[in-house]
């Protein structure tokens, strides 16, 4: 098979698998198999760039960096919809539709009002040529490269029954489960958490690095078809065409004969919406018959044939019973409200986070207050206000605690922090357990058989006080514990022995140094190579490591300044854990201290291959250029903005041959 034929075959196979996974939600091969096929296609395209298809699945991974997003005037304005919060408003809307349509029969089509970000996609002869944000409704930003990374955006339409010029509008969302996973990863790495799925989706769409956009798991739901000539008589037929062309739909659009049936649908989804994995804040009600829509027309701001019914925010009033103060693994104290149980968004809510002392003061909380509780972003219950006319006149203000609820140590609030901390790092039980749990986590030492309950049991029984104690555990001690048998005890001991093979960066992450997440641990390991060098590193030296700011550097210095921490690390060394970067992790220091930005297509290397090679030689990969970048490695079709910026900052530009000569 010729390269041209193989590229065509892989392109078609991967497009079909992609459609099955992301649009139909019925995967036909494993992720590993898909990745292997994609790598094979990438290698062929890099060797034969002229043979790459314009709708190649490799475009999904991103990589292009856009300095500015050009404005694009919409061919037709992206109008807002009139909003309704009551059935009386909908009744008025129904009467208005009846007057405008006269005696002509009509029906309604209902669909979810996604709480996401609008996106317009332009197709020419079935090929995606442009992606545009809503902007002000008249013009938006062209974000085509970012749109191409969204797996549910067809790069080429399926079938052949589509007009030459076509515009598809829809909404970009982040699923709740994906959002939770993203935040869990950020929390693990000491990063600030994203506020809610909608804001995160909006920010992601305008990110200048399309590779970052590709990593964020955006989903596009199509809901509107715009053409120069009619291709259907009803909106329901448009939905059928969208499905045929390869778009993902919510699957919940419904045609209803009259306003009474509309009300039934609205009531049904007011309850069911909380079971969805994406957020909706209402239902869009539209006249289904397209010729009637043309007759009805629009106002200056909105179509006369559609209205959005908005559900009220999921809130309730309940009593504040008490406040618990929880201690995290870093010693951070988090106040949590205990509430009288109340039904909210389909679930019974008994607790809500209050974040910190400043939030208690802002709300003006008193003991026993009646409070308004909302599900922030439909996910996390939070107290939004106090019902003052229900307050007991003898109630006292809520006071933030002065001592740790677990060990009674006096709390401290570091300068510039909004949180209080318990400084009793090595004697506070929740901190001890939390650090051990972090150490054994699958992204750190990955010790099989050690979950939260087992860690608690080992600490409570006095068998361990820190993660170094894990490696002193004997089979006889474990098998004697409740819930343990011979097999489970052996599994735990074997898991700890196997963890000694984990690379240095995993060990470093597992130590639980504040602000040192998995990514920072990898950078520190790569630059300092050995735990001894890290333990002796001074503040200024750490701050000079790329992407290691003052806050992280100070935290590292403070951690190793504690004699108890040094003692634990010496015990981990003696136990045989990996405390240095192995040769296979860094082949040499040839590129140590040098940073690279990669742009374009290369004849002998794939982009991933280049990144791995540079890192293995001690170099660092950057996603964007700055005055501190050492080199721009530019292949064919390198980004003009990158080339211009490199010249402006006098950054050396390397060709593929230059780079090959550099590493000989």
Residues 6+ apart with CB under 8 A from 262: 90, 94, 108, 110, 256, 285
Residue 542 tokens, joined: 């750490």
- Give dist(CA 351, CA 77) in Å, integer: 45
Rounded (5°) CA angle 387-392-398: 75
CA–CA dist 492, 181 (Å, integer):
27
Burial class (CB in 10 A: 0-12, 13-18, 19+), 32: exposed
With CA atoms as reference, report the closest residue to 626 among 608, 607, 610, 650: 650
Q: Which residue has the tokens 């390198």?
A: 638
Burial label, 186 (beta-carbon count in 10 A; 0-12, 13-18, 19+): middle
DSSP 516-541: --HHHHHHHHHHH-BHHHHHH--HHH
386 CB-near residues (< 8 Å, 6+ apart): 363, 364, 365, 366, 369, 370, 371, 372
Catalytic residue among 113, 286, 523, 642: 113
Task: Please report, in angstroms and rounded to a whole number, the separation of the first and last CA atoms in the chain.
Answer: 34
Spell 326-337 as b/e; 16+ CB within 10 A means b. ebebbbbbebeb
Q: Is 522 a catalytic residue?
A: no
Measuring CA to CA, how many Å separate 111 from each of 90, 239, 314, 483? 15, 11, 20, 51
User: What is the CB-side half-sphere exposure of residue 437 using CA atoms within 13 A?
Assistant: 18
User: Checking phi first, is residue 390 left (phi over 0); if not, alpha (psi -120 to 50) or beta?
Assistant: alpha
Block residue for tokens 């002796």: 536
Alpha-carbon distance of 11 to 9, in angstroms, equals 5
Q: How many residues does the chain have?
A: 664
* Residues with a known catalytic role: 113
């Amino acid at each position: 098979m010729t390269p041209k034929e193989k590229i065509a075959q892989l392109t078609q196979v991967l497009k079909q698998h992609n459609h099955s996974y992301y649009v139909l939600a019925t995967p036909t091969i494993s992720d590993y198999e898909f990745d292997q096929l994609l790598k094979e296609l990438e290698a062929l395209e890099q060797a034969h760039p002229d043979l790459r298809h314009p709708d190649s699945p490799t475009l999904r991974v991103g990589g292009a960096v856009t300095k500015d997003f050009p404005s694009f005037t919409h061919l037709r304005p992206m109008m807002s919809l009139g909003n309704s919060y009551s059935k009386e408003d909908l009744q008025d809307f129904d009467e208005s539709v009846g007057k405008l349509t006269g005696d002509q029969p009509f029906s309604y089509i209902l669909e979810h009002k996604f709480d996401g970000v609008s996106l317009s996609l332009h197709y020419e002869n079935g090929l995606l040529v442009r992606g545009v944000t809503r902007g002000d409704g008249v013009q938006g930003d062209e974000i085509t490269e970012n749109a191409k990374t969204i797996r549910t955006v067809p790069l080429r339409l399926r079938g052949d029954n589509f007009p030459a010029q076509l515009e598809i509008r829809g909404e970009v969302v982040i699923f709740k489960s994906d959002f939770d996973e993203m935040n869990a990863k950020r929390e693990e790495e000491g990063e600030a958490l994203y506020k809610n799925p909608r804001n995160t989706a909006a920010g992601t769409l305008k990110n200048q690095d399309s590779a970052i956009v590709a990593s964020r798991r955006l989903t596009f739901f199509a809901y509107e078809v715009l053409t120069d000539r009619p291709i259907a008589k009803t909106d329901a037929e448009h939905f059928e065409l969208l499905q045929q062309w390869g778009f993902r739909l919510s699957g919940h659009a419904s045609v209803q004969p009259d306003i009474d049936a509309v009300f039934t649908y609205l009531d049904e989804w007011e309850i069911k919406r909380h079971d969805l994995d994406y957020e909706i804040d209402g239902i869009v009600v539209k006249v289904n018959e397209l010729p009637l829509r043309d007759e009805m027309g629009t106002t200056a701001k909105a179509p006369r044939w559609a209205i959005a019914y908005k559900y009220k925010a999921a809130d309730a009033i309940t009593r504040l019973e008490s406040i618990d103060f929880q201690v995290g693994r870093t010693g951070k104290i988090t106040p949590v409200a205990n509430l009288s149980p109340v039904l909210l968004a389909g679930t019974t809510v008994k607790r809500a986070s209050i974040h910190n002392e400043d939030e208690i003061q802002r709300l003006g909380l008193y003991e026993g207050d009646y409070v308004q509780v909302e599900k922030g972003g439909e996910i996390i219950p939070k107290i939004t206000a106090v019902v003052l006319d229900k307050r007991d006149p003898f109630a006292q203000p809520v006071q933030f605690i002065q001592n740790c609820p677990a060990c009674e140590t006096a709390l401290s609030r570091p300068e510039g922090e909004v949180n209080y901390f318990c400084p009793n790092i090595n004697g506070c039980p929740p901190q001890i357990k939390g650090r051990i749990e972090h150490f054994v986590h699958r992204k750190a030492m990955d010790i099989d058989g050690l979950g939260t309950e087992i860690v608690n049991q080992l600490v409570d029984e006095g068998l361990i006080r820190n993660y170094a104690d894990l490696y002193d555990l004997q089979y006889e001690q474990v098998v004697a514990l409740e819930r343990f048998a011979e097999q489970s005890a052996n599994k735990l001991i074997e898991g700890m022995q196997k963890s000694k093979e984990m690379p240095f960066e995993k060990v470093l992450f597992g130590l639980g140094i504040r602000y040192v997440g998995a990514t920072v641990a990898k950078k520190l390991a790569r630059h300092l190579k050995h735990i001894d060098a890290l333990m002796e590193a001074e503040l200024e030296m750490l701050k000079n490591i790329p992407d290691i700011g003052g806050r992280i550097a100070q935290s590292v210095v403070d951690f190793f300044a504690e004699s108890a921490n040094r003692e634990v690390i010496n015990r981990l060394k003696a136990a045989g854990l990996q405390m240095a970067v192995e040769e296979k992790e860094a082949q040499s220091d040839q590129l140590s201290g040098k940073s690279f930005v990669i742009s374009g297509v290369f004849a002998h290397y794939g982009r991933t291959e280049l990144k791995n090679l540079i890192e293995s030689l001690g170099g660092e990969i950057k996603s964007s250029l700055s005055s501190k970048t050492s080199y721009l490695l530019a292949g064919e079709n390198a980004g003009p903005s990158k080339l211009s910026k490199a010249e402006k900052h006098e950054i050396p530009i390397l060709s593929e041959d230059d780079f090959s000569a550099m590493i000989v």
